[in-house]
Structure 1
Amino acid sequence: MAVTTPVVKSSHRPLILTACMLSMFMAAVEVTIVATAMPTIIGDLGGFSLLGWVFAVYLLTQAITVPIYGRLADLYGCRKMFFIGTTLFLIGSVLCGFAPSLAWMIAFRALQGLGAGAITPIATTLIANVYGPQERAKAQGYLSSVWGVSAIVGPLMGAFIVSHFPWAVVFWVNVPIGLVAMAILVKYLPPDGQRKQHKLDLAGTGYLTLSVAALLLALLQAEVLGYWALALIVLAVVSGYLLIRQERKTPEPLFPLALWESKVIIAGNIGGLIIGATMMGISAFLPTYVQGVLGGTPLEAGTTLALMSIGWPLASMLSSRLMQATSYRATAVLGGVLLLGGSVALLFLSPDSGLWVARLAAFSIGAGMGLANTTFIVSVQNNAEPAIRGIATASTLFTRMLGSAIGTAVLGATLNLNLQYRLPQVNDPVQQLMEKATRNAMESHHLAALTESVAASLHWVFMVSAIISVLAVAAGLLIPAGDRPQTEPQRES
């Protein structure tokens, strides 16, 4: 399938990179900025019982559409699909600000997610299309660093906005950012090259949507759904089987066969899955340890987690030089080793340890994320033919999202099972330790026993996270030795 890549002047490339970074920031910051504003929004709109769906529906629709947009970009052009996705996202953002109830906000958040599913994979693919193999690693390092920056900026922006403006501004702040990004790309990104007529695999798209939706709903809402979650998992497995059968017989599959013939692309997808799952071990549970076990303040928990967000962009920008000086495999393995080292460091936490252990572990994990994530994306893009670069990129990002959901479910179940085993008669022991008034009212021996049991339970979470991070090293070793950005990788036939 012949696809011509638009030629971009070198002077315009930094502007295109800036536009892609702005659009990525807009989508990445959305979860954290809204989380900070939700208490204010709930106070105004009510509907506390629906709170979880405000986040779940955004992540759900985004995850489902990421691979679909990736394939649409290959078939119909990145430029066109980027503008469609960004427009949907901005319309959803405007409507969220006008939501009269939380139920309506959930509907508008679903629309936001439908647009966000295009922004991340297509922005990443656009950079691969306008930069050559040697420059691509550095550009993707800048793009990847947006995730770390957004994790720090999002909560600060949310807190500032709700303190000085109506909560609707939390959503409307996206509009000028998105319009500036679109204006730059309209002016400086050439039209998509000529393409043959194609048909999207609608049956495969339907099976994919059903399978992913069922799996993510089961993982994200397991506590609410109870045994119904098992029925959803069965539905996800059956739909996945039908998807595989459909992909084998359709002339233009949603996931082209070339994706599964390349060791580099397979390694990138496995790496994305592992990175997503490992990340949840620190993002969701390290702040709990700092506040619940160490007795730290929310500020201390936040600054500890922020070190992961600082390590990520620093390592992402360094990854370009490492890839060129060594290889994809060496850089990805180093990232996996840092992930493993940070996860193992968490096992040395104790109720008497200082914050420096937690902060060192957070920085190490963030640096590992930055190295491994950027390396997997760049190696996949350099290995993929232009005709399938969109879906190759999207598949790596999709598996990372899927890994985050799986990691949250597995690690959350690990914590709950341990707490039920150690503290069967105690209702919500973590919450008791997190609430300062309740904690201060406890007798010293009861507080010590509760703290020790919660610490031991969280250590099992960190243990499982460390085991998962070993697989990140293994994923890096799957990349063929010797491939690096300076040379064209050897594609397998």
Structure 2
Amino acid sequence: MTHDTSTTPGRSAVGLRSERGPVLLAVMLCTALVAIDATILAAAVPAVVSDLGGFSQFPWLFSIYLLAQAVSVPIYGKLADSLGRKPVMLVGIALFLVGSVLCGAAWTMPLLIASRVVQGLGAGAVMPMSITIIGDIYSVEERARVQGFIASVWGIASIVGPTLGGVFSEYVSWRWIFFVNLPIGAVATVMLLRGFHERIERTRHRIDYAGAILLASGVSLLILALLEGGRSWAWLSATGIGIVVASVVLLVAFLFVEKRAAEPILPLWVFTRRVLVGANAASLVIGAVLIGLTSYVPTFAQGVLGFGALLSGLALGAMTIGWPLAAASAGRIYMRFGFRNTSILGVAFVVLGSALLLLVDARTSLWTIAAFTFLVGVGLGYASVPTLVAVQSSVDWDRRGVVTATNLFARSVGSAIGVAVFGAIANATLARDFATPPAGATGKLPRTADDAAVVLGGGTGVSTTVRDFVRAALTGATHQVFLGVVVLAVAMVLAVLVMPRRTEPLRFD
């Protein structure tokens, strides 16, 4: 297959007003669809449950979306290398918008959950295609600055999303949380159709249906086990063990099928090249670090420090400010010092920022926490962009979709692992502390970190004794989570060191 695009990397300015600006803006709008959706729904929990009921089922709105997105990413990556980026992106946008309409029109919680599956399948195409298109139309020198644009979308979404969710829920209807995606998606679609052009020589391909089914099924069960283990069922229960065993069997079968497939859906060479193994391992850890901080920094700010949801979100928002700032400047650094050395610089910031978070307690100011998360964000910007650009630069166009999707898939799996591990750490710490309650607190203590934050933020009906004890316990639980983040940051150093000093184009003789 040969290909061409309407633009040539390195021949014009980088920015929204340049020749490639409309395509970049379209990609940013597509990213905004997924980024806003990741935060806007959380603010609508009371409104949705009040309307549809099913509070116990509400966590599935997030779990099933993440699951559908993660398992479809590798499949879309392979299809993009065979059919082109544009058709896969347009299919992804269409699925996301159809899912949004179904979510907005849902009249029961099970139907809303099913509609989130459709949304997740669309997001699974939008994210890898956005980054792959950037890799196609921008040169190695330009990609870091452009990734800064993309990262800024996530930073803005982290603030705009919860605000919009609260406004829609309180003053209009929670259903507009989903309907707002329609105009954004429509504009992005029109801009892609007009501005992004691919000329692809069509050839007959043999689609690896067996590999796709085995991969999607095996990974679905694995992520399901990680997301719901310890919550919907005990880790060592028959259900928990059975799901893990079934996942392993399916994934082993997938490996055998891929060895014989003419055009494997996920080529096994992505697990054998140093640059890919190191970069994907780093992406896995980044996903876990992100979910750890995203989940527990706001919980600490609300439950221990007593701030509201908005200010607590701003403490975490500092991380999403540091990320794009670092990403925008990473290009100049990695062009001079190399991808691996720039990533090591980033990991050093992550280690420093996460280690400083170990110092926070009930007397720490919100601005101090924001400064620490800002350092982590800077580190993630310097670590994630060079590893991703190294992956894309190591292969030609016809393999770039697969390697990009694999990198994002690793991050999704890392997030799922992080949810399970950090949740287990926090809840185990609380369970240990709550086993010896003070006088007057017996039978009045919450069970999980989230419940503890709710108790502390309740304002009435909670005695001072219970409040002080829960605050101290939640501080200890959050400290253990931050300690886990530090361990992961150190592991990220090892992952980056796996990458070669110089990234050369991979050979496939």
Structure 1 length normalisation: TM-score?
0.93
Give the deviation of 1:327 after TM superposition: 1.6
Match of 1:464 in 2: 484
Q: 1:196 and 1:433, CA in 2 relative to 1: closer, same or farther beyond 3 A?
A: closer
* Count of residue pairs the alignment pairs up: 487
Q: Does 1:207 align with 2:201?
A: no
- Equivalent residue letter for 2:473: S
Inter-partner Cα distance in structure 1 for 2:394 and 2:411: 19
Distance 1:298 1:28, change over 3 A: closer
CA distance, structure 1, for counterparts of residue 278 and residue 149 of structure 2: 22
Q: Contact (CA 8 Å) 1:57, 1:106: kept in 2 or not? A: yes
Aligned partner letter, 2:172:
F
Q: CA deviation at 1:382?
A: 0.9
Q: Check if 1:60 corresponds to 2:48.
A: no
From 147, 155, 166, the counterpart of 2:162: 155
Residues 186-209 of structure 1 show CA distances to partners (whole Å, capped at 9, x for unaligned) of 112113411421122111111111
Q: Give the Cα–Cα distance (whole angstroms) in 2 for the partners of residues 220 and 398 of structure 1.
A: 16
Describe the shift of the 1:433–1:69 C-alpha distance in structure 2 as closer, same or farther (beyond 3 A): closer
The answer on whether the counterparts of 2:456 and 2:471 sit within 8 Å (CA) in structure 1 is no
Q: Specify the alignment match of 2:193 in structure 1.
A: 186
- Once residues 238 and 155 of structure 1 are traced to their aligned partners in structure 2, the CA distance between those partners, rounded to angstroms, is 40
Equivalent position of 1:477 in the other structure: 497
Please list every run of 5 or more consecutive structure 1 residues that lacks an aligned counterpart in the other structure. Answer: 484-488
**2:262 match: secondary structure:** coil
The match for 1:46 among 38, 53, 56 is 53
- Output the amino acid matched with 1:234: V
Counterpart of 2:399, as a letter, is I
Q: Deviations over 1:223-263 (max 9, x none)?
A: 11222122111111111111111111212112224423432
* 2:288 is equivalent to residue 277 of structure 1: yes
How many angstroms apart in 2 are the aligned matches of 1:169 and 1:309? Answer: 25
Task: Verify the 8 A CA contact 1:415 1:457 in the aligned structure 2.
Answer: yes
Q: Could you say if the C-alpha distance between residues 183 and 432 of structure 1 is closer, same or farther in structure 2, counting changes exceeding 3 Å?
A: closer
Residue of structure 2 aligned with 1:342, choices 344, 349, 353:
353
Partner Cα separation in structure 2 for residue 418 and residue 368 of structure 1: 28
Query: Does the 8 A contact of 1:5 with 1:129 survive in 2?
Result: no
Q: Which residue of 2 aligns with 1:75?
A: 82
Q: Which residue of 2 aligns with 1:428?
A: 446
Q: Is the 8 A contact 1:41 1:167 kept in 2?
A: yes
Aligned partner of 1:268 in structure 2 is: 279
Q: Which residue number in structure 1 is paired with residue 249 of structure 2?
A: 238
Using the alignment, how far apart are the partners of 1:123 and 1:355 within structure 2?
34
Contact 2:395–2:505 (Cα < 8 Å) also in 1: no
Partner of 2:312: 301
Deviation, 1:441, is 6.3
Pairwise CA distance, 1:448: 4.2
Shift of 1:438: 6.0
Alpha-carbon shift at residue 476 of structure 1 (Å): 2.1
The equivalent position to 1:321 in structure 2, one of 317, 329, 332, is: 332
Query: In angstroms, what is the RMSD of aligned CA positions?
Result: 2.1
Deviation at 1:492, TM superposition (A): 5.1
Answer whether contact 1:311 1:370 (CA < 8 A) is retained: yes
Structure 1 partner of 2:34: 27
One-letter identity of the residue aligned with 1:303: L
Superposition deviation, residue 130 in structure 1: 1.3
Map 1:74-473; keep pairs closer than 5 Å: 74-222=81-229, 223-226=231-234, 227=237, 228-424=239-435, 427-428=445-446, 430=449, 431-432=451-452, 434-436=454-456, 447-473=467-493
State the distance in 2 between where 1:492 and 1:265 align: 13
Q: CA deviation at 1:62?
A: 0.8
Give 1:70 shift. 0.6
Judged with a 3 Å threshold, the aligned counterparts in structure 2 of structure 1 residues 327 and 287 are, in CA distance, closer, same or farther, namely: same
Structure 1 residues 482 and 292, CA, compared in 2 at 3 Å: closer, same or farther?
same
- How far the C-alpha of 1:370 sits from its partner, in A, is 1.9
Q: Is the 8 A contact 2:344 2:496 kept in 1?
A: yes
Does the 8 Å CA contact 2:75/2:266 hold for their aligned counterparts?
Answer: no
SS of residue matched to 1:379? helix
Change (3 A) 1:437 1:66: closer
Q: TM-score, normalised by structure 2?
A: 0.90
In structure 2, do the counterparts of structure 1 residues 195 and 132 end up closer, same or farther at CA, with 3 Å as the change threshold?
Answer: farther
Give, in angstroms, the shift of residue 444 of structure 1. Answer: 5.4
Q: Which stretch of the first structure deviates more once superposed, 53-62 or 435-444?
A: 435-444
Q: Say which SS state the counterpart of residue 68 (structure 1) adopts.
A: helix
| C-alpha deviation, 1:490, in angstroms | 4.3
Q: How far did residue 88 of structure 1 move?
A: 1.1
Q: Please report how far the alpha carbon of residue 82 of structure 1 lies from its aligned counterpart in structure 2 after TM superposition.
A: 1.0
Q: Which residue of 2 aligns with 1:486?
A: none
Q: Secondary structure at the match of 1:338?
A: helix
Looking at structure 1, the residues matched to 295 and 457 of structure 2 have their Cα atoms a distance apart, in angstroms, of 23
Return the offset for 1:166. Answer: 2.5
> Conserved in 2, the CA contact under 8 Å of 1:144 and 1:374?
no
Amino acid at match of 1:75: S
Contact 1:145 1:317 (C-alpha < 8 Å) held by counterparts:
no
In the other structure, the counterpart of 1:3 is: 2
Letter in 1 for 2:5: P
> Does the CA contact (< 8 Å) of 1:138 and 1:317 recur in 2?
yes
**Farther-moved stretch of structure 1 (267-276 vs 97-106):** 97-106
* CA 309–169 in structure 1, closer or farther in 2 if over 3 Å, else same: same
- Going from structure 1 to structure 2, the CA distance change for 1:37 and 1:456 (only over 3 Å counts) comes to closer
Give the 3-state SS of the residue equivalent to 1:140 in structure 2: helix
For residue 457 of structure 1, report the CA deviation from its aligned partner: 2.5
Q: Percent sequence identity over matched residues?
A: 36
Residue deviations 1:401-442 (CA, integer Å, cap 9, x gap): 110010110011111112222222563165355435767766
Amino acid at match of 1:379: A
Query: Using the alignment, how far apart are the partners of 2:320 and 2:133 within structure 1?
Result: 24
1:445 CA drift (Å): 5.8
